[in-house]
Amino acid sequence: MQWEVVIGLEVHAQLATKSKIFSGAATAYGAAPNTQACAVDLGLPGVLPVLNQEVVRMATRFGVAVNANVAARSVFARKNYFYPDLPKGYQISQYEQPIVAGGYLDIELENGEAKRINITRAHLEEDAGKSLHEDFQGCTGIDLNRAGTPLLEIVSEPELRSAKEAVAYLKKLHALLRYLEICDGNMQEGSFRCDANVSVRPLGQAAFGTRTELKNLNSFRFVERAINFEVERQIDVIEGGGKIIQQTRLYDAVKDETRSMRVKEEANDYRYFPDPDLLPVLIEPHFIEQVRSQLPELPDAKKQRFVTTYALSMYDANFLTASRAWANYYEAVVQAGGDAKLAANWLMGEVAANLNKQNLDIDQFAITEKQLAGLLRRISDNTISNKMAKEVFETMLAGEGDADTVIAAKGLQQMSNTGEIEAIIDQILADNPDQLAQYRAGKEKLWSFFVGQVMKATQGKANPGYLNELLKQKLDT
């Protein structure tokens, strides 16, 4: 039997506010446990939550960017459940009236085709605390620093049909949130994580199969591996005569498997009701239009502009616009005088390799945009060869100055005087009559011998273009 995979994603994006959604407590990552949770975050008696206006602006920014409907009236509700890191016994979230409804993202499939993934809703809610196990032998510690951290939960329609499609959607959403500057997207710190609802059904069947929910996936690689495992597990269970149980499952990255966590709750299990301490959120049309007017150039538009303005391939533009920081760096290099195509090649090659090696992002790169543009200009005007440029690049990374300083200090100027190169070629041909005769008799492999001799004589400084042209003239004479 052929099976069809059905996937819907619930993404939790931490909004980039300095304080929490209902209190003035800080949201900074890495503080000592329980030093950033106040009485409001813990729901102690006698305190009231006050909505952080910035989260409304950020949610609106997202809604406008994905062509969704930003609700004129949305309501916060209490989602009731017991968990050790939720001391209030309920989470403030949105239920029947979310702030954002609808919208879509267009993703690119592996075969190059585009696919539209519709968004069901995006609602505001507070995060819970965190259970700690590593430093507590035989018991569990609780850190409530995350309690009250603002989240935007973005729920997709079940329109994804493979783990790769799910990852493509997540990467597109991740980039968009960072472009909008409403989420830093740091997956290691939990700022961007997702739950994946996965089911299978016989190909052609309209009704959905029973789904399981894979919780708290925090890397693109884990999302793909977890979904693939779960799909195979469900198919094996069904084909073995069993039934899928609706449940929440955890992904174990070490064993590369999912395992049962608890039976999946339904909405009525949470006994939602409007939070009596919070007024409905009312958004005026002029506020939405103000947010819309302040949107930055979004990734798809920027990608298309890079193709038309800088004559880049779609592959190059995809790479360079994957993050706003990379796109900004690239444009700054070009504006500082770097050739557009050469700049793209260097960013995707030497620069990306260096950053990957050091596990750094482009905004932490040691070479400024102007410095890199200076290096590219010296390649373009034939002052140095590509080979020499890599030596200059390494020296610049070591902090020994800009390209012109390094070239002068190391004497790396490329030899472009055709008269000098021609004289050297003449001498080498005169010194190697046997090789010259063999080449002219048809042994073309000796071409590299002559090139090597010229490069040796010039200490690698001969302009390759001039060298090849002059050597060909001499050998063919």
| Model confidence at 369: pLDDT above 70 | yes
162: tokens are 């493979």
The residue among 4 and 261 whose pLDDT is bigger is: 4
Q: What pLDDT score does 285 carry?
A: 97
User: How many angstroms separate the CA atoms of 253 and 412, rounded?
Assistant: 50
- d(Cα 316, Cα 312) in Å, to the nearest integer? 6
Identity of the amino acid at 447: W
Whole-angstrom Cα distance, residue 106 to residue 117?
6
Q: How high is the mean pLDDT of the chain?
A: 93
The length of the chain in residues reads 477
User: Residue 202 forms beta bridges with which residues?
Assistant: 3
Amino acid identity, position 130: K
Q: Would you state the pLDDT for residue 12?
A: 97
**Cα three-residue angle 5-160-170, rounded to 5 degrees:** 130
Least confident of 30-39, 270-279, 359-368, 402-411: 402-411
High-pLDDT (> 70) share of the chain, %: 99
End-to-end CA distance of the chain: 71
Report, in angstroms and rounded to the nearest whole number, the Rg of the chain calculated over CA atoms: 30
Q: What is the pLDDT of residue 466?
A: 82
pLDDT of residue 235: 97
Pairing of strands 114-126, 150-156: antiparallel
In the predicted model, is pLDDT for residue 132 greater than 90?
no
Q: How many CB atoms lie within 10 A of CB 9?
A: 25
Contacts of 362 (CB under 8 A, 6+ apart): 323, 325, 326, 329, 351, 355
pLDDT band at 201 (very low <50, low <70, confident <90, very high): very high
Average pLDDT over residues 69-83: 95
Which pLDDT score, from 0 to 100, does residue 264 have?
Answer: 65
C-alpha 319/C-alpha 327 separation (Å) is 9
Beta-carbon contacts of residue 415 (< 8 Å; ≥ 6 apart): 421, 458, 461, 462, 463
Distance, CA of 234 to CA of 238 (rounded, Å): 6
Q: pLDDT by residue (tens digit) across 86-131?
A: 999 999 999 999 999 999 999 999 888 999 999 999 999 999 999 8
Which pTM was predicted?
0.84
User: How open is the CA angle 88-93-97, to the nearest 5 degrees?
Assistant: 145
Q: Is the confidence at residue 477, as pLDDT, over 80?
A: no
363: which DSSP letter? G
